[in-house]
Amino acid sequence: MISKKKIFNLKTITIFIIAIVFFASFSSNKASYRLIGWESRTLAVPSFVKMDINELTIYNHEKLTPFFQKMENLIFNGEGRISILHMGGSHVQGGFLTDRLRYNFSTLTYGVKGERGFAFPYKIAGTNSPCSIKCNWQGNWSGCRSSVSTHECDWGMSGISAITSDAQASFEIMVSDIDSTFFESNVVTIYHNGNEDYEIIPDSSMMLVEIARNMEDGYDVFTFAKSYDSFRFNIKRCVDQSSSFILQGIYFGKSESHGFTYNAIGVNGAGTYSYLRASKFENQMNTIKPDIVFFGIGVNDANVPEGDFSQISFEERYEQLISMIRNTNKDAIFVFITNNDTYYQKRSPNKNAYKVQESMHRLAEKHNGAVYDLFSIMGGLGSIDDWKYAQLAASDRIHLTKKGYELQADMMFEAFRKAFGDYLNEKYSN
């Protein structure tokens, strides 16, 4: 007998799409929209935001078909796992954008909650952290960022490290969703510098089944007998000589998992050049194997005088990142997010945004990817002023506010949902 969950037709799909679409109502001054079942949360969209072009520019629909097929199986059958990677600078480290996007994608799979995925305990490194990452620690720790030219360190794919030379140190960490529910995991990967002088020991209260160590690539995989929402690890130096243990990130996973996993990698001040300084980038990325990558790196690359920005160098650095990620998953899809409008040194709108926009379209076309043109959608050159007056952008005219990042996340999600809906309509309308 055929399982009922395998049977769906155009009507079923249409009902599902209607259930998740954003309803929009427009007036002369502003538009508002909300997601049904999302606690009736309504967000105002000012008129200067160009919702009529809020969509993905896809350069090769055929190349995206296998990904959308995988997404279709996950959403309608609850089967499979999709690994999303979002890379950027401070807008990713801060978490407002990526935490909201992670939650938005989770609404597509009712009753199926994916892994939390990669996270970095930023506060241990002495910097700001998303509200969704809670951590405590003991011992003396310091931070080291690949985005700081004077810092020299051993970095993994996160581009940031927390360092201790104490004979004994420890940290405790838990990760939550934006609704304050904590993710539970039973497989945890600790990324590090591969220093055999140190041993990572889980707290004795957790029932450990197995430890798999990979010192060359820099990570230990801990498998537990049950799932936990809080993890404590002790860092013990096994020799008398002084050396350093470098924590490079944590992956929260499950032995058996279906759903979306939204991995966020971001460092304050990071440009494309920052992640190329990470010696273990590709080896550690192989543990994530992203199906789709949201590239939001470009604001810091472009934060230079107009004549000093080299599109050729910018694109070459992206080519290196793309190559390393493709080596972990040859079928990975790349979505380039253009820079939001910014000011250069608070004086005038940064016209390098046009060059970044042009380069990202060129890269997307070359690699059969897509572009989310945030720069145009938010209103183009000078529009950051409108966002600031609407309390959607910070006074530095570079960063957005929490409300602004959440609006960006919702708009990006709607554009992505529309692209998936177009795929379904084309597939089932014949």
- With beta carbons less than 8 A apart as the criterion, state whether 409 and 353 touch: no
Tell me, rounded to whole angstroms, the distance of Cα 404 from its chain centroid: 17
Q: Any idea which of 15-29, 125-139, 141-155, 399-413 has the lowest mean pLDDT?
A: 15-29
| Cα–Cα distance for residue pair 24/12, rounded to 1 Å | 23
Residue ranges covered by each domain of the chain: 50-114+259-430, 115-257
Answer yes or no: is pLDDT of 29 > 90: no
| Cα–Cα distance for residue pair 424/302, rounded to 1 Å | 37
The arithmetic mean of pLDDT across residues 266-270, rounded, is: 97
Residue 430 has what pLDDT?
67
Answer yes or no: is pLDDT of 52 > 80: yes
Answer yes or no: is pLDDT of 4 > 90: no
Report residue 282: phi and psi, to 5°. Answer: -70, -40
- Per the model's pLDDT, the better-predicted residue between 136 and 242 turns out to be 136
The overall average pLDDT reported for the chain is 90
The CA-atom distances, in angstroms, between 86 and each of 19, 267, 400, 429 are 26, 12, 17, 32
Answer yes or no: is pLDDT of 31 > 60: no
pTM of the model: 0.89
Q: Any idea which of 18-27, 40-49, 72-81, 132-141 has the lowest mean pLDDT?
A: 18-27
Residue 158 has what pLDDT?
97
Please give the CATH number for the structural domain made up of 115-257.
2.60.120.260
CATH topology of domain 50-114+259-430: Rossmann fold (3.40.50)
The arithmetic mean of pLDDT across residues 92-112, rounded, is: 94
| Cα–Cα distance for residue pair 120/130, rounded to 1 Å | 10
| Cα–Cα distance for residue pair 160/139, rounded to 1 Å | 19
